[in-house]
Amino acid sequence: LGPRMESLPEAVLIRILASIPAVDLVLVCRLVCCQWKNLVDGAALWILKCQQEGLTGAESEENAENWQNFYFLSKKRKNLIKNPCGEEDLQHWGEVENGGDGWKIEELPGDFGKEFPSEEVHKYFVTSYEWCRKAQVIDLRAEGYWEELMDTTQPKIVVKDWYAGRSDAGCLYEVCVKLLSENEDVLAEYRSETIAIPQDNDANWTEISHTFSNYGPGVRFVRFEHGGQDTLFWKGWYGVRVTNSSVTVEP
């Protein structure tokens, strides 16, 4: 018989464990024995996994309190808003308020519009002559962000949106994002001012962003809402244009 696993030097054992999928490390390997539990709960194994998988920022996170959480959050990082650019019409957007002629999806750059800074974005939502609003509620647990992580680590929740007007029409825009508890109580909120874009504007796309941090325990949902209208009350779709909305949970 060859040498037993526990007689291996710790550095070698960490290298072996680092080749195992992260979920198996947490759910299976840490239950094997005290030594493995300590290694899976320690920093060295997760620092190595971060380095092996090129998770950037690991070097600058010398003070990351929990490398295991840093690893999982880095691997999971994705936009939690579904259909952010109108590729699926209004699918996934709820509580839709269709003022005037309602929401419409158009191809970039659109009439009297400008191209978007990213070539990956091809469409946008556009509002009409009365308030148009739409919302999306993100279930953090369903997306894989477990309760202890949200309550203890309280990872940053970064919200971004992009808006623009037509160069021949004035419009209004606003965004409101709420962090909600299990019972949908509001634990934190970001609300932009109502942004007015004048007629004869440059039609450039503008990014607006907010980062939630230290928001306290209990956050289970993120509710994202935005909308606007034109200020000339022209029939059709002369109001604010929005696209590329995002909500990400960051390490």
* Residue 182's pLDDT band (cuts 50, 70, 90): very high
Q: What is the pLDDT of residue 69?
A: 85
CA distance 207 to 211: 13
Query: Counting beta carbons within 10 angstroms of the beta carbon of residue 22, is it exposed (0 to 12), middle (13 to 18) or buried (19 or more)?
Result: middle
Q: What is the pLDDT of residue 100?
A: 96
CA distance 218 to 182: 7
Q: Indicate the pTM of the whole model.
A: 0.84
Structural domains present in the chain: 5-75 (1.20.1280.50), 94-250 (2.60.120.260)
- Write out pLDDT tens, residues 52-70: 888 866 455 555 568 888 8
- 92, 84 contact by CB (below 8 A): no
